[in-house]
């Protein structure tokens, strides 16, 4: 086993993904400051993305990794700024019934695309979806074609700036979804497929093409992995998955992995049927998370899932967020050891059932990291 204290975090990830035994890996999903103490920057050099900077979330992640002592998979994004500036969205916000409303408008030759959301501290709902009519589909097809032509040099420069400040303290990824999830009205998706099949298929293919083009830019920008989500396992059927998601995902994975990147596939939904169907084994992401049991997910147990998922796929999870937020240190350590026992003999990263909840006690996080790291 390679001694962990001799490795940078970036090198540790590289060796781990190549099959080298580097000891336990601990990497909870965390994309912003989530501790019960005020944010602070724990490194000697100045904070590269201080409060108010659009990349401040990355500074928060870097700070938490240092303070808590885990093996970070950082998440950040870059801008794909269209050369046609007329398609940039116009947004306005206002308060209605004690809720913040956000209206977003995009002008197209066909009609004005509009999205309206409402939110407060506890929830977020969509009042008006982008796609509700046949004209909306024509407009979105036009928009997708315009989005294909963006300032790649700006996106690459932004990525290089992120990588410069991360240096060897981890690896950098970005959010990516199955194309079916982008710009679609999920509440009426099946009706739209039936009512406007040709328009739906055309928009879907354009979305795939745009995603594939952006992958090349992301790799040039220095990103290491995709935080990939296949949308809607709770409501989509295996047949729907095969038709609209499986082949697209294969194309995206082939493109990204062929450029030397790796995949962290995230789902916190009901995946038991998809594990049984063997979809994840066909697609072979390097990492798969989160393998949730009821009430969050529907797999019978971690062991059940681990026995059915290809041994070459690294699994990640699955300490309950409620335990980390409200549990005692003893309960947390017990939960960690249960995960260790149920994944014994398989490649596994200690993580959580989803994104770390805000105001999680630092003492609980340290107990989690300490217990997960303490035994080979």
Percent above pLDDT 90 for the chain: 84
* pLDDT value of position 235: 67
Tokens coding 25: 């890996």
Question: 256-269 pLDDT, tens per residue?
Answer: 999 999 999 998 88
Query: How confident is the model over 83-88, as a mean pLDDT?
Result: 97
Query: How confident is the model over 78-107, as a mean pLDDT?
Result: 95
* pLDDT value of position 33: 98
* pLDDT value of position 93: 95
Question: 246-257 pLDDT, tens per residue?
Answer: 999 999 999 999
Question: 48-74 pLDDT, tens per residue?
Answer: 999 999 999 999 999 999 999 999 999
Q: Is 173 within 8 Å of 140 (Cβ atoms)?
A: no
Any idea what the Cα angle at residue 344 is, between residues 342 and 345, rounded to 5°?
140
* pLDDT value of position 135: 97
**Burial degree of 345 (CB within 10 A; 0-12, 13-18, 19+):** exposed
H-type alpha helices, the chain = 9-17, 56-68, 134-147, 152-166, 189-195, 197-220, 238-241, 247-258, 272-277, 279-283, 302-308, 321-326, 329-342, 362-373
* pLDDT value of position 186: 82
CA neighbor of 314 nearest in space, from 291, 297, 294, 333: 291
pLDDT band, residue 1 (cuts 50/70/90): low
Tokens coding 245: 């998601």
Which helix (H) or strand (E) covers residue 99, if one does?
strand 99-107
Using the 8-state DSSP alphabet, how is residue 120 labeled? -
CATH number for region 4-81+150-373: 3.20.20.210
Using the 8-state DSSP alphabet, how is residue 260 labeled? T
**Burial degree of 251 (CB within 10 A; 0-12, 13-18, 19+):** middle
* pLDDT value of position 198: 98
The reported pTM is 0.94
Strands 262-266, 287-289: parallel, antiparallel or unpaired by DSSP? parallel
pLDDT band, residue 229 (cuts 50/70/90): confident
* pLDDT value of position 331: 98
Where along the chain do its domains lie? 4-81+150-373
Of 79-88, 225-234, 359-368, minimum mean pLDDT range? 225-234
- For residues 64 and 58, what is the distance between their CA atoms, to the nearest angstrom? 10
Query: How confident is the model over 218-234, as a mean pLDDT?
Result: 89
**Burial degree of 6 (CB within 10 A; 0-12, 13-18, 19+):** exposed
Tokens coding 258: 């062929």
* pLDDT value of position 120: 81
Place of tokens 């995949």: 263
- For residues 12 and 315, what is the distance between their CA atoms, to the nearest angstrom? 17
Query: How confident is the model over 313-331, as a mean pLDDT?
Result: 96
Tokens coding 166: 């991360």
* pLDDT value of position 4: 61
Query: How confident is the model over 28-54, as a mean pLDDT?
Result: 98
Q: Is 227 within 8 Å of 246 (Cβ atoms)?
A: no
Contacts of 68 (CB under 8 A, 6+ apart): 35, 362, 365, 366, 369
């Amino acid at each position: 086993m390679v001694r962990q204290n001799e490795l940078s975090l970036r090198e540790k990830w590289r060796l781990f993904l190549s099959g080298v035994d580097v000891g336990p890996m601990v990497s909870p999903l965390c994309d912003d400051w989530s501790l019960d103490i005020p944010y602070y920057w724990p490194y000697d050099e100045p904070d590269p993305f201080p409060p108010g900077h659009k990349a401040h979330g990355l500074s928060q992640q870097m700070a938490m990794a240092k303070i808590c002592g885990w093996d970070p998979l950082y998440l950040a994004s870059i801008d794909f700024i269209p050369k046609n500036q007329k398609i940039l969205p116009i947004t306005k916000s206002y308060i209605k019934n004690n809720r913040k409303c956000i209206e977003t408008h995009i002008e197209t030759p066909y009609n004005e695309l509009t999205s309206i959301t409402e939110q407060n501290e506890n929830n977020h709902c969509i009042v008006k979806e982008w796609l509700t009519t046949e004209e909306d589909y024509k407009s979105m097809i036009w928009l997708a074609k315009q989005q294909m032509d963006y300032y790649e040099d700006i996106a690459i420069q932004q990525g290089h700036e992120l990588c410069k400040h991360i240096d060897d303290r981890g690896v950098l990824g970005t959010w990516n979804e199955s194309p079916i999830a982008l710009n679609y009205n999920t509440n009426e998706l099946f009706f739209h497929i039936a009512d406007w099949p040709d328009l739906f298929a055309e928009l879907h293919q354009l979305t795939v093409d745009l995603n594939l083009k952006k992958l090349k830019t992301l790799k040039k920008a220095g990103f290491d992995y995709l935080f990939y989500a296949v949308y809607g396992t709770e409501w989509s059927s295996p047949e729907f998955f095969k038709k609209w998601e499986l082949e697209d995902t294969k194309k995206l994975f082939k493109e990204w992995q062929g450029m030397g990147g790796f995949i962290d596939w995230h789902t916190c939904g009901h995946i038991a049927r998809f594990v049984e169907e063997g979809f994840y084994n066909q697609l072979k992401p390097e990492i798969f998370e989160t393998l949730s049991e009821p009430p969050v997910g529907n797999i019978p147990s971690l062991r059940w899932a681990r026995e059915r998922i290809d041994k070459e796929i690294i699994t990640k999870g699955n300490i309950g967020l409620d335990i980390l937020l409200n549990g005692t240190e003893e309960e947390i350590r017990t939960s960690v050891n249960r995960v260790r026992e149920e994944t014994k003999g398989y490649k596994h990263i200690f993580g959580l059932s989803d994104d770390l909840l805000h105001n999680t006690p630092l003492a609980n996080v340290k107990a989690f990291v300490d217990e997960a790291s303490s035994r080979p």
